[in-house]
Amino acid sequence: MITTANVLSYVIVVASALIVALILRLPLLPEKPMRQSWTISIIFPTIIIAIGLFAIINYFKVYNNIYSAIIIGIFSAIFSKYLLERAFPKPDLG
């Protein structure tokens, strides 16, 4: 069931991930051409990771409040900036 609080939580997740990623100076969009770019940016994968993590938390009903939305947004931006390259290295394009 979609409620106003649920939609507001998703908006807060996206906003907190966007703000923290801007503070960490991630680029807004990947390099051009975008299909062949492996640049980490705000739009992809930072916000996608934030929405996905919050959806998993929301599905299992562990924490479904505004504070968990803010924490997940912050975590996803930090993960995208510092840990994503180690977890999923870039492929060889050779």
| pLDDT tens digits along 51-87 | 999 988 888 877 778 899 999 999 999 999 999 888 8
Cis peptide before 27 (omega within 30 of 0): no
CA pair distance 28, 94, nearest whole angstrom: 27
Tokens of 79: 């993960």
What pLDDT is attached to residue 1? 58
Nearest to 48 by CA among 79, 23, 25: 79
- Contacts made by residues 1-8, CB under 8 angstroms, sequence distance 24+: 6/58, 6/64, 8/66
Nearest to 19 by CA among 80, 63, 73: 73
